[in-house]
């Protein structure tokens, strides 16, 4: 990955052969249905963070899958939910706006539980969508013996619209080849949008910040995750080492204490695990220095939200 991935040279993008297909696929669904895990599996490496905590994804993230016959740009969107603060409103608005800015909708649901109100709410959002929709039943590895009734609850949703339904497991990879084939079938002929070897259009700093936030989500208690914003303040690079300085912003002093932990043990654990993940992306040694700052009610502040990189996308 390169710091300049958002400034792609046109000279690195080849001319597409005759019959080549390309387009943008919006991955839509309620929180915790496995959208980011699916993105990582299809791309073939980790570019989106995952955790058991709902509303993990906050920004639209593009993953790029290039084959001999097509280039699929996967747009991972935040889970659509009822927002409770300004950050939540931005997250949901951005997810909903993605519906009208892509070529295909991949509506992902949790196939291990029956269809619920959250799924039906998204169904209503898609009713007037003119683009092709594929309903993806994820988590088939977790289905119980009553899988037929579970599947039927979703087939009932898709039937009035004649949406194709594909079952898969983003965790194990089962069923992803038929899914990718179906996506390509629904794409129109088009050019390469990105160089064939690129897997995401996000700059390296964004990925670094997300890897740190992922460890906070995984290692701290429930009151912390949604109150955290990570900002990469400085990156110093030499041929042998990359030094990363990052600020973890929280809303209360008590949250700062939890993240730091007794004698700094929690902060050390977060930093060590995040550095290990960064090391997979960066050549040479990685040095990571974390700071914790208190920014009261930042999720309600338009100024803070903009400062931390959260804004309405077009």
Say how far apart CA 121 and CA 153 lie, in whole Å.
15
In the predicted model, what is the mean pLDDT of residues 56-62? 57
Q: Are 236 and 302 contained in the same domain?
A: yes
Give a yes or no: residue 37 inside a domain: yes
Q: Mean pLDDT of all residues in the chain?
A: 83
Write down the pLDDT at residue 90.
67
Q: Are 167 and 241 contained in the same domain?
A: no
- By three-state DSSP, how is residue 13 classified? coil
Q: Are 150 and 226 contained in the same domain?
A: no
Q: Are 130 and 20 contained in the same domain?
A: yes
Q: Are 38 and 92 contained in the same domain?
A: yes
Confidence band for 124, pLDDT divided at 50, 70 and 90: confident
Give a yes or no: residue 31 inside a domain: yes
Q: What is the CATH number of the domain that holds 263?
A: 3.30.300.20
Q: What is the CATH number of the domain that holds 40?
A: 3.40.50.300
Q: Are 220 and 184 contained in the same domain?
A: no
Angle in degrees, 0-180, between the axes of helices 253-260 and 265-279, rounded to the nearest 10: 70
Q: What are phi and psi of 64, to 5 degrees?
A: -115, 125
Domain-ending residue, one of 189, 223, 257: 189
Give a yes or no: residue 229 inside a domain: yes
CB 168 within 8 A of CB 175: yes
1 pLDDT higher than 80: no
- By three-state DSSP, how is residue 303 classified? helix
165-223 per-position pLDDT tens digit: 999 999 999 999 999 999 999 999 999 988 888 888 777 788 888 889 889 888 886 65
Burial 215-238 (b: 16+ CB within 10 A, else e): bbbbbbeeebbbbbbbbbeeeeee
Say how many residues make up the chain.
314
Say how far apart CA 123 and CA 119 lie, in whole Å.
6
Q: Are 98 and 168 contained in the same domain?
A: yes
Say how far apart CA 251 and CA 304 lie, in whole Å.
11
Compute CA distances 300 → 89, 244, 253, 293, 304, whole Å: 10, 28, 17, 17, 8
Compute CA distances 203 → 4, 58, 88, 158, 171, whole Å: 6, 16, 24, 37, 26
CB 36 within 8 A of CB 217: no
Residue-range definition of the domain harbouring residue 274: 204-307
Give the predicted TM-score (pTM) of the model. Answer: 0.68
Q: Are 148 and 180 contained in the same domain?
A: yes
Give a yes or no: residue 213 inside a domain: yes
DSSP secondary structure letters along 151-207: HHHHHHHHGGGT--EEE--TTT-TTHHHHHHHHHHHPEE---SS-TT--B-S-HHHH
In the chain, the number of structural domains is 2
Give a yes or no: residue 197 inside a domain: no
9: left (phi over 0), alpha (psi -120 to 50) or beta: beta
264-307 per-position pLDDT tens digit: 999 999 999 999 988 877 777 899 999 999 998 888 877 777 77
Q: Are 22 and 153 contained in the same domain?
A: yes
In the predicted model, what is the mean pLDDT of residues 89-116? 82
Compute CA distances 275 → 61, 212, 227, whole Å: 21, 8, 22
In the predicted model, what is the mean pLDDT of residues 70-79? 86
């Amino acid at each position: 990955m390169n710091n300049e991935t958002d400034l792609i040279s046109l000279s690195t993008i080849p001319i597409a052969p005759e019959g080549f297909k390309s387009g943008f696929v919006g991955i839509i669904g309620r929180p915790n249905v496995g959208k980011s895990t699916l993105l990582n599996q299809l791309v073939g490496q980790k570019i989106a963070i995952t955790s058991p905590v709902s509303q993990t994804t906050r920004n639209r993230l593009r993953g790029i899958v290039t084959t001999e016959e097509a280039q699929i740009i996967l747009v991972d969107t935040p889970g659509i939910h009822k927002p409770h603060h300004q950050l939540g409103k931005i997250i949901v608005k951005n997810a909903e706006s993605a519906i009208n800015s892509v070529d295909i909708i991949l509506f992902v649901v949790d196939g291990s539980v029956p269809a619920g109100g959250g799924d039906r709410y998204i169904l209503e959002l898609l009713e007037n969508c003119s683009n092709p929709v594929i309903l993806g039943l994820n988590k088939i590895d977790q289905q119980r013996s009553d899988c037929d009734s579970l599947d039927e609850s979703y087939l009932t949703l898709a039937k009035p619209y004649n949406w194709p339904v594909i079952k898969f497991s983003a965790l194990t990879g089962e069923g992803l080849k038929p899914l990718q084939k179906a996506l390509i079938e629904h794409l129109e002929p088009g050019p390469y949008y990105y160089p064939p070897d690129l897997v995401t259009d996000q700059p390296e700093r964004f990925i670094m910040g997300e890897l740190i936030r992922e460890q906070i989500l995984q290692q701290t208690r429930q009151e912390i995750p949604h109150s955290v914003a990570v900002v990469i303040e400085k990156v110093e690079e030499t041929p042998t080492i990359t030094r990363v300085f990052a600020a973890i912003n929280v809303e209360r002093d008590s949250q700062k204490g939890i993240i730091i932990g007794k004698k700094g043990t929690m902060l050390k654990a977060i930093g060590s695990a995040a550095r290990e993940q960064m090391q997979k992306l960066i050549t040479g040694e990685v040095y990571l220095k974390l700071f914790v700052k208190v920014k009261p009610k930042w999720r309600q502040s338009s100024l803070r939200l903009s400062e931390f990189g959260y804004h309405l996308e077009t």
